[in-house]
Amino acid sequence: MEFKRIRDLREDRDQTQQQVANYLNMHRSVYRRYENGEREIPVWAVVKLADLYNTSTDYLLGRINNPAPLAKK
């Protein structure tokens, strides 16, 4: 599965793969594999990316199309 949305969000914010990899505390090559769908992204990384981009994990995973964060109950 390719996570085009994490690439699009990163590029929309003018961030490099290295900057996001540093945020996730990993090597850039590992993060690149996540973006390209060469490696399955772990849940903890999806959660941190949702926090970084102020969106929901469902949006990142392609389950919904609205990038706005879900309202908290």
pLDDT at 73: 58
Residue 50 CB neighbour total at 10 angstroms? 20
What would the two tokens of residue 24 be?
């996730």
Q: Are 46 and 60 in contact (CB under 8 A)?
A: yes
Range of the domain at 39: 4-60
Residue keyed to tokens 């929309």? 12
pLDDT at 71: 67
Q: How many domains are there within the chain?
A: 1
Residue keyed to tokens 């060469």? 38
Residue among 48, 50, 11, 10 at smallest CA distance from 26: 48
* Global pTM value: 0.87
Asked if residue 70 belongs to a domain, the reply is no
Asked if residue 56 belongs to a domain, the reply is yes
pLDDT at 69: 75
Read off the amino acid at residue 63. Answer: R
Asked if residue 71 belongs to a domain, the reply is no
Asked if residue 69 belongs to a domain, the reply is no
pLDDT along the chain (73 residues), means of 10: 85 97 98 93 96 93 83 63
Asked if residue 29 belongs to a domain, the reply is yes
Q: What is the CATH number of the domain that holds 25?
A: 1.10.260.40
